[in-house]
Chains A and B, each alone.
Chain A
Amino acid sequence: MTLRYDQVSYRYPGTSTGVFDIALEIGRGELLAIIGASGSGKSTILKLLAGFLKPDTGRILIDGKDVGASLPEARRLGVVFQNYALFPHMRLWENIAYPLKVRGIAKQARRARAIEMLGRVGMGKRAEDYPAELSGGQQQRIALARALVFEPQGLLLDEPLSALDAGLRLEMRDEILRVQRQAGIATLLVTHDQEEALSIADKVVMMRDGRIVQIGTPRELYETPADASVAAFVGQSNLWPGSISGDGMVTTPVGALACDTQGKSIGTKVTVFVRPERVEPITGPVDASNPCCFAGSMSADRYLGPVRRIDMAVAGGAIRLETHLRGSITGVTIPHDAIRLLPPTS
């Protein structure tokens, strides 16, 4: 059971926004996360798959069959909505049994199946309660159980954790992953929370202005972002405009840096990208003869628990670093292998 977008485009009538040339494939048991700022088109992608919108061009295939023209109720996809959309007038077991009811399964059988699902999400004792009696995390579990009870061909999660407290979010993230793995089902997760996407997805898709900017594993997106926008959206980063000044050298506002210039010719404009945790702090005297060392003073020092996020003011700009060191920092080293050259921002 795979979910596939084959060059899908959709434009909202009367506007220039939408999604364009979307090509994606989600394999059986795979969890694909779509990230991007609001308005980047990530929810539109979910709505196209769920059947709330019909593509203008291209095909949407579920298990190899083109479903572009079929109604949402015919697609057999489990969807968990941002606010869960549990039916307030139905008991929990009735909520979960609803997809079985509309498929004509007898009351006893669907009740038994619903109770079994309740047990699977750890809510076995609450069958007779109403949704309003539950906390956000519990409603989330019920929504997940309801979306999976009819053995759908795919699972669609629309910002499933955004309505929860920070602490509960981590717990539910693991819970979703556990249930998804157990069901072995192709899953599409839409989220604006890049950390959530990196931590549970097999593949991450970064969207901007209705187009896919990059598809890759979480590690690929984090370590080798396609451009500055991906680097800035996924995690923290140092991004400086620069130009190649020689073989293995690039000049930036903070100074000249040694790195692999991949044969780029002198004068080529680039964006220099360094993750803050790859910047090495110096606590003693700074060796000024080393071109990768910069003396400076701390202009901002944020205590985040396990690490500190520090902005070092150096001649010509600021360098952000993350370190677990607790003492005062006098300078930084940027190792040559920590530097990546991205296309220049226009």
Chain B
Amino acid sequence: MSVIDDSLVVSTTEQTLAGAAVDRKRGKQATPKERGVISVADRRRPAVRVWMWVIQILIFVGLIVAGLGPLVWSAKASVSGSQAIISNPMGIFFTPNQWGNFATAWNGAQIGLDLGNTAFLAVGSTIATLFVSGTGAYLLSVLRPKWGPILNGAILATLFLPGIISLVPLYLTILKLPVIGVSLQNTFWAVWLPAGASAFNVIVLKNFFDSIPRELIEAAKIDGAGPIRVLTTVVLPLSRPIIGVVALLTVVASWKDYLWPMLVLTDPKLQPVSVALPTLAKGPTPFAVQMAAVFLTVIIPVVLFVVFQKQFLRGVGTAGGVKG
């Protein structure tokens, strides 16, 4: 692997692949940043220093309140009494903990089942996206058939159409698939399969595959590797970082989705937590149990994010670069 890495760094100027290889080598070491607006000399000036400190502290406090505040409050509310939360919501930090809320939410309000559905939907959507976009990007980037540009154009074109235009027809498609005539309503396929039709992910993956040096692929071909072997032994191992990014972004998007699963999954036993929560909030469930359910919903993606923070932030940056 290290040999390949070296050759990659030398042979490609494309930031994506080379950047990923360099990142892996550097490991956890911080990268020295280039200079920004403020020069080194500026930073030594007392006035600049004081201002930097003041702004830094103000923004830090603002970010803590905005980013962490709602989470902390929701955490404490989930173990407080309903009466206490409603009558004095800022005073709940001084009330004793009631751990029973979680058990009630998990079993009584079926949040456990709903969270399971959410996870199942997210994993399935990710697999569908990776399979469809992966094979598609491989086709367009490496196999390059004569009809590739037409397919590429047709996929690109969907990016320029707002998604809203196909909401209702897509719903009708799910109710009765044309030609086959099967209804996907109230099956997980209704969420998984449309997730695969993501032009954005095809383009992200294709751009990355394009940055893999053709010599590596040609060498594998000369050694007698067929298209599938080239994909699994050359392209996929080199593309691990971008596949991780696509997977992470798909999981999060699927976790956040609301309208689509609400439309196609009407059976409460199949609904993800995002669809079940508003129903729960309208029902007679005690407020504290609702808050416990909200907290359980929030904490899983937040923990995922904190663990994979670096990949997330890089991924969003990359995705933005593609969009731009």
Do A and B pair up? The answer is no
Residues of B at the A interface (CB closer than 8 Å) are none
